[in-house]
């Protein structure tokens, strides 16, 4: 694919693995130039860039802590310098610690809040300032805000904040022709989801949805691609992408 002034440009935070990688590769397959963001694993981000460029797409890797406003401003600057602007921002970056609320380590909760809430606000703030007309901002929540699984209380608290931000930012973007939505995945076969779960737990969750399987990163990337592309009349919404679980 040839890069031109009309090529749309996407920045995917957390783009080095799992849902982020699938999203970066899907948006590239849809014809976008993609910035693959990483926080700590530059080598893995460069693998995603190589996968995209070897297929004829355009991609770069950019680093930085999503909760650090200076680092993210620099990352956005780098994307604009490389591609001339930004049309789509997808914030998949997040961390998860599971524990009953009565036993939740508050330092772990603070770390989740820093990445999942502050990080979302930092990325959304840069996106709100920079995304071009006709663009899209896609944030990430979780289906557990509906299913209320035990041990997810601290994590769900951070993701409920994301869902609250979405309609507010959508209204604040009035007149800009930029949509703001969130994707809320259900159980999805990623390292973040599978970590610490027994085979029985995974099998039980796989059977919970009517489709009787776990989601795949590509399933979630398809929902992001919809919101990033043709879904111009979907705005201020959280799209629950969970196979009918909730």
Catalytic residues: 155
Question: Which spans in the chain are helix H?
Answer: 18-29, 42-54, 69-83, 106-112, 119-130, 144-147, 153-172, 191-194, 199-208, 217-228
With beta carbons less than 8 A apart as the criterion, state whether 95 and 65 touch. no
Which of 150, 169, 213 has the alpha carbon at shortest distance from 187?
Answer: 213
C-alpha 180/C-alpha 92 separation (Å) is 14
With beta carbons less than 8 A apart as the criterion, state whether 53 and 30 touch. no
- Joined tokens for residue 223: 């929902």
Tell me the CB-side half-sphere exposure of residue 246, using CA atoms within 13 A: 16
Each residue of 69-94: b (16+ CB within 10 Å) or e?
bebbbebbebbeeebeebbbbbbbbb
């Amino acid at each position: 694919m040839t890069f031109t002034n009309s090529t749309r440009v996407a920045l995917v935070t957390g783009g080095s693995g799992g849902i982020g990688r699938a999203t970066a590769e899907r948006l590239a397959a849809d014809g976008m130039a993609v910035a693959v963001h990483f926080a700590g694993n530059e080598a893995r981000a460069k693998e995603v860039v190589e996968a995209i460029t070897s297929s004829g797409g355009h991609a770069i890797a950019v680093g930085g802590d999503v909760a650090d406003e200076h680092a993210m401003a620099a990352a956005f600057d780098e994307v604009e310098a490389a591609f001339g602007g930004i049309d789509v921002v997808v914030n998949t970056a997040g961390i998860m610690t599971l524990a009953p609320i009565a036993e939740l380590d508050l330092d772990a909760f603070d770390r989740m809040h820093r990445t999942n809430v502050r990080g979302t606000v930092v990325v959304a703030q840069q996106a709100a300032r920079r995304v071009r007309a006709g663009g899209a901002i896609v944030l990430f929540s979780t289906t557990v805000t509906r299913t209320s699984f035990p041990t997810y209380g601290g994590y769900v608290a951070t993701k409920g904040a994301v869902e609250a931000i979405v309609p507010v930012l959508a209204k604040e973007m009035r007149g800009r022709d930029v949509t703001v939505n969130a994707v809320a995945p259900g159980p999805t076969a990623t390292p973040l989801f599978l970590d610490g779960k027994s085979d029985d737990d995974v099998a039980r969750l796989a059977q919970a949805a009517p489709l009787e399987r776990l989601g795949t990163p590509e399933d979630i990337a398809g929902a992001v691609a919809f919101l990033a592309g043709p879904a111009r009349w979907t705005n201020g919404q959280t799209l629950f992408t969970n196979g009918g679980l909730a």
